[in-house]
Structures are given as structure tokens and as C-alpha cells.
Chain A
């Protein structure tokens, strides 16, 4: 076969994929533009939001607790290992707290949330579409964006920052336990160094802003992929995968951008 034709075909395929990706981005933007006007109205039935907060937030709670504790404990071990070379092990509390509040808390929570709750959101909405439940609602004069999508979007958006705070807190406690019980550091030094070195405005608020942004993006991707899914079992499964992949990449990319801005502001 003509090698040039092969290259042409590959370039063509690449172009088609890029175009499809851009078209998807456009649909996602139109979708959020349609969703935003429904967001306020969703609070008239706060019960639905609370229900979804339970489904997304509370059910993700255990995985966040366990992961947070382990991440904190690992950080303590690894951090101590390095700090002790410079006789700086008293700064372990500060190191762990900064790492967790600025980066690991928001980012790991977001990644875990995307895998645990984002995928479930997409699958649920996609299956509701495949089983004509969304169409059925429309024919009953009930707007599925208001009744189904908006409460799930809100719940995801609210849950991520809360879970990130819990992740960070549990991580710090895990690190404290390892530092004091395993590594024999002084508990008072652990906390006081942390208190002196962590800034509320820069580190805590900065981490919170990140997780609010991540919550928005993951919830957006998850409900969009579900709503946009092909109404077949294959379509729903693809959409679920896309949710996890796209939101993980979006979280890491946005984290880089936000970190760059936040560090410049310091």
C-alpha cells in the first residue's frame, strides 16, 4: 500500500478525533449554559439535593476517610525519611499539612470522587436516558434538567470541597499518629510548627478554591456525559469511562494552572 496514503489516513483520523473532541466541548458548553438557569430553581426542592448529597457524598465518605488516613501516614514516613537527613524532622507537621491542604487533599479527593461518584452519576443519568425515563419526564411536563440533573450537579459540587476538607483533616491526624507513635516525634512540636507555618488565606483558602473548582468540573463532566450518552448499554459504558478519564485529566490540568497562579501570588 502507498505509504503516503497511510499517513494521510492517519492524519485524517487524527483530525476527525480532534473535531469530535471540539464538538463535544461545544455540546458540553451549551449544556452547562442550559443548566445554569435551572440551578437556582433546584433549591425550591432542597430535599432532592440532600438526597443526592447522600448518594454522592456520604457514600464516598468511607473511601475518603481510608485514603486520607493512609496518604497522611505515608507522607509522614516519607517526609521524615528526608527531613531527618537535615535534622529538620520537627518540620514534619508543617510539611504534611502544606502538602495536604494545598495539593493532595483537593486533588486526590477529586480523583477519588470522579471514580466513585462521578462515574455513578453518569451511569445513572445515562441509564435513565436509555430507559426513556428522561423522555417520560419531559412528556409529563417535568424538566429533567431541573428535576434530575440540577440536584445531582449541586450535590457533586457541594460534596467535593467538604470531602476534601475531611480528607485533609484525616490525613493530618494519620500523619500525627505515625509521627508520634511510630517515629517518636514530639506531638507539641508537630502541631506548633504546623500552626506557625500554614497560612489560612494562602494555603487553606487556596486548597478550598481548588476543590470548589474541581467539584464544579467533575459534576459538570459527569452529568453532561450521562445526558449526552448514546442511549444503549455500550453508549452508557463509554460515557462512564469518559467521565473518569476526562475529569481526572481536567483536575490535574486545572490544578497545574491554579497552582501556577497561586504560587505567583504568594
Chain B
């Protein structure tokens, strides 16, 4: 209901916030993407799924301008990211938040200073205002009481919440989440799922999540993209994705060990391999 209200408020026909068109990217001679197309609408939670090594994190690096595609166009808020100068790119990144899988908190700063870091770097706000803002962000993620702890003293879930508070420190247009559910206990996982949804709706942000956790993805997403073999193999709402009969999508959504994605790494014939003497 809240979600629908918001869509109406924003208008569903609005311009997409992110468009990725015909993007090709290869690293070390290995093609990771070809003809990649996807669209992220503002105000929505878009989940990009794919197996390990499908290039999910690479996709976020491309959107964030940390990597440059070999071909194609990546537009964020109307700007063509690969064509931006470093200065323009940094200006755009101030409007993007990113949550890294490892949280990427600065280990020599405590929780408070970590959240204050982007504010101190990019604004000249007086100390009192920074304090208020930091406490507000920490309150949102429930860690106002932990502000004097150092990253090494935090559990994985807490570190990720601090990183989330830091990612939204400058009230970005959008937040990119790199595997936000990995390595968390069920309670922390529930907290993160709820936080992502709530922050997205309450702050009017746009969220892009890359993950391979199907259940969480379905519980949170407005749109799901499935990456396979360097391109989008399926796209739809969670309900559509779960109903699909496409075998590769079904295998991924249901977590089946064998199917279009084979269980075995490519190898020569098993019997011939066993009978051949010599090197492993």
C-alpha cells in the first residue's frame, strides 16, 4: 500500500534513473557482459540476481563509474557515466550511496566518525549540525548507542548497518547494495531487509541490490533482473519470476543443483580421465 502510494506520488511513467544500454565489458580477455540492457525506475527497489561470477558486482562498478565499459551507454540521472570527467564523476557520486559487501568502514575511525566522514569531506556544516545529522542517521539504523565503537568491535550485521547509515549520510538519490544479505544471521538479515525497504520508501530513494539470495530478493524487490552468461536472461516482478517456466530461471529461483547450468565444471570424459596415468 505504501509502495503503491509512492509509485503514484512519483508517477510510474517517470524517466528511468538508470539505463544500461548494449553494454559490453571484458576483463583480462574474458567477456563478462555483452548486450547488457537494464533499467532502474526511480523510487523502486530493483534486484539484480545471478550466480557467483555472473558479474553482479562488476555491474555496480560500471554504474558507479569505477570501471569503464568497452561499449554501450550507462546513464545515471541523465548523465552518461563513462563519458564523465573525474570531477563530474565525483559530483555524481555524491548523489550515489554504495554499501559494500565488506562494509568498507574506515577502521581507524569510530562509528560516529565513519558516518560523519562524507559530511566532513563534502560539506562545511558546523559541528553541531553534523552531530545532529549523524545521530539521525544512526537512529534510523538503530545504532545511535554504538557510536563510540570501532569497526573491529562490531558484528557483521552491525557493521553493515553502520555502512548503510554512512551510505545515506548525504541523502543520495540512490543506494547500491553489493550482496547485502551475505554472511548475516537470520535476525540481522531481517533487519537489513526491513531497513532497505523502509529507507527506500521513507526517504524516497532508489535502491539497486545485487544478490544471489532468492528468498530475500523476492521479499524486497519491485523488479528483478536475472543475469546469466553476460546478459539479462529474465526480468519481471517477483511473482512473475517465480511463475516462469523458463528452465534456466526456474533452476536459479528454485536453487536446483543441476539443469541448464551444469553441476560439473567442463572436463574430459570421466572414464578416460580415470584410466589415464600420470599427471593430475
Contacts and interface: CB of A to CB of B under 8 A. Distances in A.
A133 B107 contact: yes
Interface string B104-116: 1111000000000
A131 B107 CA distance: 9
Given A133-B106, A135-B66, A140 B100 contact: no
A142 B94 CA distance: 9
Interface string A127-141: 010011101111111
Nearest to B106: A133
Contact of A138 (B66, B94, B106): B66
B93 A140 contact: yes
Contacts of B94: 140-141
Q: Size band of the A side of the interface?
A: 10 to 19
Interface in A6-61: none
Contacts of B104: 131-133, 135-136
A133 B117 CA distance: 12
A92 B96 CA distance: 67
A139 B122 CA distance: 13
Interface in A188-226: none
Given A139-B93, A140-B93, A142-B118, A133 B105 contact: yes
Interface in B140-194: 166
Contacts of B93: 138-141
Contacts of A133: 104-107
Interface in B81-125: 90-91, 93-94, 96, 98, 100-102, 104-107, 117-118, 121-122
A30 to B, nearest CB: 15
Contacts of B166: 140
B64 interface: yes
Contacts of B117: 140, 142
A135 B100 contact: yes
Instruction: Report which residue of B105, B117, B121 has the largest number of chain A beta carbons within 10 angstroms of its beta carbon.
Output: B121
A136 B105 CA distance: 8
Contacts of B90: 141, 143
Nearest to A124: B108
A137 B106 CA distance: 9
A139 B98 contact: yes
A140 to B, nearest CB: 5
Given A136-B98, A141-B90, 5 more contacts: A128-B107, A139-B98, A140-B94, A141-B94, A142-B121
6 contacts: A131-B104, A133-B104, A136-B98, A137-B106, A140-B98, A140-B166
